Amino acid sequence: MGPAFRDLNKNGQLDPYEDPRRPVEERVEDLLSRMTLEEKAGMMFHAMIGMNPDGSLVEGESQVGSMSTSDMVHNKKMNTFNVLQGTKPRLMAEWYNRLQALAESTRLGIPVTIASDPRHSYGVSDNPVASFLAGDFSEWPEPIGLGATADPGLVREFGDIARQEYLAVGIRLALHPMVDLCTEPRWSRVYGCFGEDADLVSRIGYAYIRGLQGETLGPESVACMTKHFPGGGPQLGGEDPHFHYGREQVYPGDNFEYHLKPFEAALAAGTAQVMPYYGMPVGTDLEEVGFSYSKGVVTDLLRGRFGFDGVVCTDWGLVTDQEYVGGEVMPARAWGVEHLDRHQRVAKIIEAGVDQLGGEFYPELVVDLVRDGRLPESRIDVSVRRLLRDKFRLGLFDNPYVDPDAAERIVGNSRFRERGEYAQRKSIVLLKNGDRGDAPALPLAGRPRLYVENVDRDVAARYGDIVARPEDADFAVLRLRAPYEQRDNNLLERLFHSGDLDVKEPEKSRILSLLRTVPTIVDIFLERPAVIPEIAAEAIGLLANFGANDAALFDIVFGRFSPTGRLPFELPSSMEAVRNQKEDVPYDSENPLFPFGFGLTYTGP
């Protein structure tokens, strides 16, 4: 440890907050008593941070904000950061150590907590606003694929592997899991959920948190920030509240309580932190404001009814308009309080019971509120206590540094990759196997002539002889992804796959023509449910994946791995059925093509 964490005071002793032999609560109170208002305010902001490809700190103009790393740490006095892009594991660890050394040079040497969105997904869905591709980390299916395994033991193992990889590079706070129920199939964030059934999501979410945190939060844990309380799934028309047209969250089935069940499980698992969503409830007894602005949601429901005394952090960008690359401006998600100025917004969030503002860089707003008498400093102390407590429980004050050699050895090691490959295969769902009344089409045998689309031909060549024309093939293997509407309003909207779920012309006719030319096995990546009745009717084999590589698919197709996955949501039969279902009610579309929980095996249903 460096001197700021181990300096002896003038009496030749450690100050109480630096002494690991003392109880956490005593250390918290000692440090809190030493902090200035500016230092307290800085702790209440959870900003984005970048790193250079060589592992050096980003200084000067940053691609993720208007200030350098040193400005945020020394001038803004911030010490919780959401790391965006990464680099090689060794370089990430070196960057992290440089950042901790910078934090150590501040007046009190308060260590940094690094947070991250999910970064273990196989490379299909890449929305850096919500998650990252795995890169050098082990590759697993999307969270919705973990739900498709219906295997809490495997999910807990994933959490433990993610924990080890995160720890190796210094990530101590997971901005996940999402235990929202994807009861609205058009929602662009379905892939980040575990499913639409509250019992399934509760079991999987509990296991996920225990894998990352362990039985209790400690120096070997990665803290979880479970989101998005009180459930971000029932979006009006499936639109997302990152955008003003998606701000309304609705409960036409009067099913608000159903969406709370997975959060009860997360709290039972001991989740350290909770994030409310952007959405604004409409047609309920709650105030019609974004959830982080609502005292009824944060204080009365989460803290009062459920007894949660951990950290509550807002989702990103509730207060300040943000400018992105190219000059695009994203308005603050101040739904229902657009008329308030920034000071008033911050005051309302804190008065609601929130401890930390995500994606914001302006601690001076809190300082102003206290100095102007609009917020008591004692209220600020309540939040800072919670934030300090997690830093102490995670052991950051006792040893915040990591070993770059270990990071190189641990991240993406062969055993972790093997388990990720297993999970990819276990998550694949077999939906159709041959035409009704005929013999099963799968698994394929021998080395048939294969025509492939959207597949690595070198991978496919391990299983069959590749031909250039469908007319020359014994079988075709076609990989698709769930349809979405391409929206070009701005960069951020293009990252969120929203809108209709059915395949449009002329692509639908092209696909059906292929299916009528050669017996075809169709695999579709379901980042959201898809409406594919015609494709399902014409395919001789139909599979769903949730983030799986070509080898995983072909192992299923050729019987080297028997399918066991189950649909974590239903597949509707038409867009009319989608539009007629209720946003807050699970599996309620009329005559679904495949129901929730459906999945075939090679020995029967």
Residue 127: predicted pLDDT:
56
Region 410-435 average pLDDT: 97
Residue 418: predicted pLDDT:
97
Q: Is 315 a catalytic residue?
A: yes
Region 125-138 average pLDDT: 67
- The answer on 456 and 391 residing in a single domain is no
Q: Which listed residue (136, 151, 240, 315) is catalytic?
A: 315
User: Which residues span the domain enclosing 489?
Assistant: 425-580
Of 102 and 61, the structure prediction assigns the larger pLDDT to 102
Total residue count of the chain as it appears in this document: 605
Residue 3 reports pLDDT greater than 50? no
The tokens for 562 are 């028997």
**Contact, 521 vs 540, CB < 8 A?**
yes
Residue 128: predicted pLDDT:
55
**Least trusted range by pLDDT, from 322-336, 373-387, 427-441:** 322-336
| Number of structural domains the chain divides into | 2
Q: Which of 359, 385, 410 is the last residue of a domain?
A: 410
- The answer on 251 and 387 residing in a single domain is yes
**Contact, 58 vs 50, CB < 8 A?**
yes
- Going through 429-588 in order, the beta strands assigned E by DSSP cover 429-433, 449-453, 465-466, 475-481, 520-525, 541-545
The tokens for 419 are 């388990």
- The answer on 289 and 227 residing in a single domain is yes
Residue 583 reports pLDDT greater than 90? yes
**Does some domain include residue 419?**
no
**Contact, 274 vs 303, CB < 8 A?**
no
446: left (phi over 0), alpha (psi -120 to 50) or beta: left
Residues 6 or more apart in contact with residue 532 via CB below 8 angstroms? 502, 503, 524, 571, 593
- The answer on 459 and 351 residing in a single domain is no
**Does some domain include residue 7?**
no
CA atoms of 390 and 48, how far apart (whole Å):
19
- The answer on 396 and 526 residing in a single domain is no
- Going through 434-493 in order, the beta strands assigned E by DSSP cover 449-453, 465-466, 475-481
- Going through 436-540 in order, the beta strands assigned E by DSSP cover 449-453, 465-466, 475-481, 520-525
Coil, strand or helix: which one is 113?
strand
Region 391-419 average pLDDT: 97
Residue ranges in 17-86 assigned as alpha helix (H) = 24-34, 37-43, 69-70
Q: Could you tell me whether strands 449-453 and 475-481 are parallel, antiparallel, or unpaired per DSSP bridges?
A: parallel
- The answer on 95 and 220 residing in a single domain is yes
Residue ranges in 303-427 assigned as alpha helix (H) = 342-352, 364-371, 377-393, 404-410, 414-427
- The answer on 494 and 393 residing in a single domain is no
Tell me the pLDDT band of 495, cut-offs 50, 70 and 90.
Answer: confident
**Does some domain include residue 100?**
yes
- The answer on 431 and 405 residing in a single domain is no
- Please state, rounded to an integer, the average pLDDT across all residues of the chain: 93
Give the H or E element holding residue 212.
helix 198-213
**Does some domain include residue 25?**
yes
**Does some domain include residue 602?**
no
CATH number at residue 66: 3.20.20.300
Tell me the percentage of the chain whose pLDDT exceeds 70: 93
Q: Which of 410, 438, 454 is the last residue of a domain?
A: 410
Q: Is the dihedral of CA 249, 252, 257, 262 positive or negative?
A: negative
Q: Tell me the CA end-to-end span of the chain in Å, nearest whole number.
A: 58
CATH number at residue 452: 3.40.50.1700
pTM of the model: 0.95
- The answer on 326 and 204 residing in a single domain is yes
**Does some domain include residue 431?**
yes
Q: Which of 360, 380, 410 is the last residue of a domain?
A: 410
- The answer on 469 and 499 residing in a single domain is yes
- The answer on 377 and 405 residing in a single domain is yes
**Does some domain include residue 10?**
no
pLDDT, tens digit (0-9, with 9 covering 90-100), for 354-392: 999 999 999 999 999 999 999 999 999 999 999 999 999
- Specify burial of residue 11 (Cβ count, 10 A radius: 0-12, 13-18, 19+): exposed
- The answer on 511 and 378 residing in a single domain is no
Coil, strand or helix: which one is 450?
strand
Q: Is the dihedral of CA 10, 16, 18, 22 positive or negative?
A: positive
**Does some domain include residue 591?**
no
